[in-house]
A and B are shown apart, each in its own frame.
Chain A
């Protein structure tokens, strides 16, 4: 897992609409990167749904919420529509999991990212991280607000 205080590795990935999004685009703002295993899986569905419900409160803290998984942009679009969420979802598709690897979130052998939260501060440094003990568990939104308080 990437260490707090390190520069957050920059990346450019496509979002659910096929548009390129770079971490550098958010310079001067806080970003919460939510690495998750797979679109449409039960736990990921619950996680992103719950986070959507508190997205206004996360925004009030000046934080942009971004999900990242190894799924394609097309899958992200369908997943976003199925869940009724508007959280930006980025496709870490090719090279597969490259960004997750850069943040130390990728699970070799499983082919997916672990469920990991990374808060990047206004200067592009890692301010806080949380890694679930396994992909079947996700941190409640309270953990995010603990980190932001």
Chain B
């Protein structure tokens, strides 16, 4: 049984999805099906320093999210994680399977491998690991942005 009690977010590890150089930067827990994340994505990428992406798909709110995260993870196994994430956020109206295949071909991915990887149990487990680390850190909506281990950005709403 997974331990979901409170814990700081894990330090950046070798299999994290990292864009940019350096030790300083932001860690974002984001949902690839979330319009608010899409809106924030460009601004996050314009900041100097490192950006670490962690999966936080909320299936009940965005039913296609698990498939999108699996596609990004599978693309990442062929070195194209951020190309897939950028494309999914930039074109939110085209997220059905044929659209994912078209992206995979455009990014030069081995399509058979992409298909197998995005449906693999290890891919689901990898995504779930990020999600659970976000839950343990108190992520209560996306995007949730951390500077080191401190949550620095949340949305303010009345209720």
Contact = CB atoms under 8 A, between A and B. Distances in A.
B159 A52 contact: no
B60 A53 contact: yes
B58 A49 contact: yes
B87 interface: no
A40 B59 CA distance: 17
Contacts, number: 81
A12 B3 CA distance: 33
A44 B138 contact: no
A42 B154 CA distance: 13
Nearest to A37: B159
Interface band, chain B? 20 to 34
Contacts of A41: 158-159
A115 B159 CA distance: 9
**What's the interface size class on A, roughly?**
20 to 34
B5 A53 contact: no
Contacts of A38: 159
B61 A47 contact: no
B61 A141 contact: no
Contacts of A145: 3-6, 136
Contacts of A43: 157-159
A140 B1 contact: no
B22 to A, nearest CB: 29
B135 A142 contact: yes
Given A43-B159, A135-B159, A146 B140 contact: no
Nearest to B135: A141
A50 B137 CA distance: 13
Contacts of A52: 60
Nearest to A50: B140
A45 B157 contact: no
Contacts of B156: 136
B141 A142 contact: no
Interface of B: 1-7, 58-61, 63, 131, 135-141, 156-159
Interface of A: 37-38, 41-47, 49-50, 52-54, 57, 60, 83-85, 112, 115, 134-136, 138-143, 145-146, 149
Given A60-B1, A84-B59, A140-B140, 18 more contacts: A42-B157, A45-B61, A46-B141, A49-B58, A52-B60, A53-B60, A83-B60, A83-B61, A138-B140, A140-B135, A140-B138, A140-B139, A141-B4, A142-B7, A142-B135, A142-B138, A143-B6, A145-B3
